[in-house]
Structure 1
């Protein structure tokens, strides 16, 4: 592909990604603000009183709470600020974009006649989510008491440049600012522009990767075991395709790549991609994000390999 065509493709992909993601970013910002304003910490504490139950619930809640990975990070952060354990919050974040009815329908439509791929994406994906959640539960113990309150303040100050305004704190100024529709809309807008900056940066990088990486050379080695899985996982990370649409892209690689490699693409993409990684590092502690990435990549690779 010559330079002119590559730049034209870059522009097309970039604007397509922006048009596709903006409604979901806005929806995610709205839900995140609703969570921050109205969800009581006591509700979170009751739901997650038994930690493993919190992981199980987080892994399936996408069936009634469908959002793609473009919108899920701010919601997960708000839940974390409200007291949800790190393991349950991250499990929620990686599960909702994959285990939800819209993605199930789009995958079934894209892979008509490929029952193994359809079933594998959701059965193996759910197993991988539970494994990741259990590992995070062991490695990221939930903070409590004053430590939890300190983390709540620190997250909110880092992300919004203001104090938390939660009902359990004595931040009277922030509490007053929250009152009324104007304060609510302002909070939604702040969340949207905060996430939008990092999404846009990720979209530019992703569009460049999809436009200028020579796909022909990758397809020549698509049937090599293990290597083909690694390649498809890298592509899932770089392409950053919304989970509602990624099955149609993956379908195009089926003649050149094994089913295991396709499954690796379909399972990893909703959990982890380039644009979301930028959001993660800005939204959560760096050490936790690095650990999360390692666990996700390792678990998805092993799960797809034994499929």
Structure 2
């Protein structure tokens, strides 16, 4: 008997999600069901799903007791992921619009994720999420991709989920990549990784009273999804990688352009924060086998 499933569609700079309200944690979706929901020809179409569930409804050890709400994020192939920087902003937008939470200027809303509890506040771009402490891995990594030419070195960045960032010399090189084919990382990461390709831009001019702002363009291949218009944690990872390459003179504020829009990144006391918009598009219901 088909199950009628209410849903809401939302996106953050084009990174789109099927949002499913399940406050009491009674809904268990299989990987195949998630994949069907996210299929752009036979389903609703999305880069992943966001299940809205109370932390208290989750099994002990899986919940985040300091946060009322837990973001159960699944990739488009059904696999669970630790964190999603665009997804968490869309998740908060849904909570606010549905009357399940409130967030005033100066207040903080805590959201549970598989990467721990994340704090979300309002920002000029929409919402800002504190992704927490990051880690740079300087191990030798090579990345091969269609249209890239010879394999290029990458740097590993962990912001709650794993990334490998590759610098390219020009915008033509970035535009010439064929990311319909998954890039190959050598050695292969144990749990896979998102791959970001970036082109740094000159620092935005500022006067002596302002801090410098770095700018980059980025494209991303997300594990379990493919190329997406945006990846929030990937944006943070890309900014962190370019700052790492720049050395001590690298700025702590960044503007990152992705195919789906523009996001902001800040580095504060060893932590990285991501800001950007979140939009709810429509609601409906789907018959789910």
Q: What TM-score does the superposition give when structure 1 sets the normalisation length? A: 0.24
Higher strand share: 2
Higher helix share: 1
